[in-house]
Amino acid sequence: MNMRKKVLLSRVLVAMLSVSMVMGMVGCGKSGSAAKSAKEYVKLGDYKGLEVDLTVTTVTDEDVEEEIQSQLEQNSTYEEITDRTTVAEGDMVNINTTAKVDGEDYEDGSYEDYDYTLGDAEFGEDFDNALIGKNKGETFDITVTLPDDYYDESYAGKEAQFNVTLNKIEKEVIPALDDAFVATVSEECKTVEEYREYVKKDLQDNANSDNESSAKEDLMSQAVANADVSGTDDKVYNLYYNQMKNDYTSYAQQWGMEFEDFLSSFMGMDEDSFKDYVLDEVYDIQVAMAIAEKEGLTVSDKEYKDSLNEYAEKYGWDTSEELEQAYSKDYLINNMTRDKVLDFLYENAKVTEVPEEDTEAEDFEEDDFEDEEDVEADDEEVADEDAESDEEEAADEDADADAEQ
């Protein structure tokens, strides 16, 4: 996977994983067994009247301008620089490369017509520095040591040999914010001011939705923690495990990675912690099904069709029929039922609105406290090592004294 793909993956990874959490099980089996498993293994605790903080976000003019600037940059074009042919610091260059590591072809370092920005240090600062002073049309070799924090841990710190052809030197051209640009990105807006208002409302709506979703998930986590979940049916667990592993393996393959590397690099997991992660997902759905059973929460035919259309649009399916063919109807209904449970928990919770700046300050204080704890732990470790060293020196001195006697 080249670095362009890696950057793109980091931007879409959260969305992809959200899809797999919602659409984690295909129609190879009936997920209605999750409800049956809930009856056998779940004893509910408190789930009504739970307390939760709802973050309140206020979108500022600065937020709006940052979003608009992002949109401008996403619609930027690149033009070749023609008044010089020598690469300078900070340039964007278009290159072809082939690469070898340990004498073997390195696919993730080999590509054509790749737009590379000096200063990003995708292959380390030495690679960037070696490009400076080279000329358009020139072919040359670069040998570098890949960074220790390189995204692919199996190549981190290794020596790589690149053969590079410099096709051209480019500059980014960001469009101006005017009515003409607005017409290219919005069907609703005609002027820049209308577009600003639209962006602000869109940002606010998204923030409100995200904050409410976070609060609902917090409540669901509390309901799971309060419940006594003694286990799960093996068929239910295996169904979730196999499908979730298939999903993540597919994602990994799309970006030229092995499943294990994907877990490690982007999820911070190994195989054992992934199994625990799957079990947590199974317990979550079982508790949701138990609450739905107790509260009589069901999905009508009309609600099913409406939600199916919503899922298809949200997760990029061409039609709701394709989505229904790919996933079992029972499983889709289970996810829709879980959505109803989330709404129920929220409607019956004690919700406290908290300004976003307060939650950010609280997070900062927690991080600061954790840093202090780490420092104290390090100091204690150093003190223990010093004490051990003093004891060893004293013992050596006693031994030397005994030897002299």
Domain at 118, CATH number: 3.10.50.40
Instruction: Give the residue, 31 or 191, on which the prediction is more confident.
Output: 191
The stretches of 227-328 forming alpha helices (DSSP H) are 234-254, 259-262, 271-295, 301-314, 320-326
Between 380 and 46, the higher pLDDT residue:
46
Q: Is residue 212 part of a domain?
A: no
pLDDT tops 60 at residue 383: no
Reported as a single tens digit per residue, the pLDDT across 321-336 is 988 887 778 778 888 9
Q: 340 and 235, same structural domain?
A: yes
Q: Looking at the structure, do residues 308 and 249 belong to the same domain, yes or no?
A: yes
Tell me the per-residue pLDDT of 108-143, one tens digit each, with 9 for 90 and over: 888 899 999 998 888 888 899 999 999 999 999 999
Alpha helices in 42-141 (DSSP H): 61-74, 125-131
239-276 residue pLDDT tens: 888 878 888 898 888 877 889 988 888 888 999 999 99
Residue % of the chain over a pLDDT of 90:
54
Rounded distance between C-alpha atoms, residue 193 and residue 118, angstroms: 36
Q: Are residues 41 and 299 in contact, defined by beta-carbon separation less than 8 angstroms?
A: no
Question: Tell me, what CATH number does 288's domain have?
Answer: 1.10.3120
Q: Is 260 exposed, middle or buried (0-12, 13-18, 19+ CB in 10 A)?
A: middle
For the segment 373-383, the average pLDDT, to the nearest whole number, is 58
Mean pLDDT, residues 216-236 taken together:
95
Domains contained in the chain, number: 2
Residues 150 and 246 in one domain: no
pLDDT at residue 283, rounded to an integer:
95
Sign, Cα dihedral of 282, 54, 314, 330: positive
Indicate the SS3 state at residue 98. Answer: strand
Tell whether 342 and 291 lie within a shared domain.
Answer: yes
Is the Cβ–Cβ distance between 50 and 350 less than 8 Å?
yes
The reply to whether 167 falls in a domain is: yes
Tens digit of each residue's pLDDT (9 = 90 or more) over 13-71: 434 444 444 444 333 334 457 888 899 999 999 999 999 999 999 999 999 999 999 99
* pLDDT band with cut points at 50, 70 and 90 for residue 375: low
Whole-number Å distance between alpha carbons of 95 and 263: 31
Domain end residue (candidates: 108, 142, 173)? 173
As a whole number, the mean pLDDT across the chain is 84
What domain range is 319 assigned to? 3-45+227-348
327 lies in some domain: yes
Q: What count of Cα atoms within 13 Å lies in the side-chain half-sphere of residue 373?
A: 6
- Of 348, 381, 396, at which residue does a domain stop? 348
